[in-house]
Amino acid sequence: MKTVEKGVTPRGTFQWAWLDKPDTKFDKSKYKVTIILEKGVPENDAFAKRLNDLHKAAKGNAEHRPAKDGDALAEDDEKKERFRGHWVVTFKTKNKPELRGPGGKNDVLAVAPRSGDYGRVAYAVAESGQGSAYRGVILYLNAVQLLERRAVSSGADMFEDESDEFGPDTARAESDPDVDGGTDPDDDASDF
């Protein structure tokens, strides 16, 4: 496989976060996270278009685009209604990714981000030269940066399921938010 791009996603909400341990039920022991990005935000739309253009250039099947349209997902599955108006992008790896807080490289987390938390992902895009069903690009998960704890049970495995029965926890991540000057949206990825 050939790496065609490395970068950092725009800021978004994590979903289906398997960052403490790999998902062995559905994904053959892979760490993974999905990031949900609001559509209509120029940075998010440009990011989704870029990933899908790389996939198309690698002769990937349109059905397996890396940046999925949440509106289309909601049409096919009532349980995915919350994805309307968003881009849905999943990253995976066999190795445990680095887990960082708002301070970037020097802010290593003891507790992994969970589904519902807010942050961004450091990734690599590689072309897959495998058979026609797998042709296109693969998104690799290198690191996750937690910017804000929003998950219901952040920091504790009190609940096995991640239901939406309770409201979100809006507490800040367990780190000094001013280490890198705060969480200014104009921050570049150099501290990540």
Classify 111 as helix, strand or coil: coil
For every one of its 192 residues, what pLDDT tens digit does the chain have, with 9 covering 90 and above? 688 899 999 999 999 999 999 998 876 789 999 999 999 999 999 999 999 999 999 988 888 899 999 988 888 788 888 899 999 999 999 999 999 999 888 888 889 999 999 999 999 999 987 665 678 999 999 999 999 999 875 444 444 444 444 344 444 444 433 333 344 444 555 566
Q: Considering just the CA atoms, what is the radius of gyration of the chain in Å?
A: 16
Contact 11, 119 (CB under 8 A): yes
- Block residue for tokens 């398997």: 18
DSSP string, 65-107: -SEEEHHHHHHH-GGGGGGTTEEEEEEEESSPPEEE-TTGGG-
The model's pTM = 0.76
CA distance 134 to 18: 23
Q: Are 70 and 36 in contact (CB under 8 A)?
A: yes
Q: Are 44 and 106 in contact (CB under 8 A)?
A: no
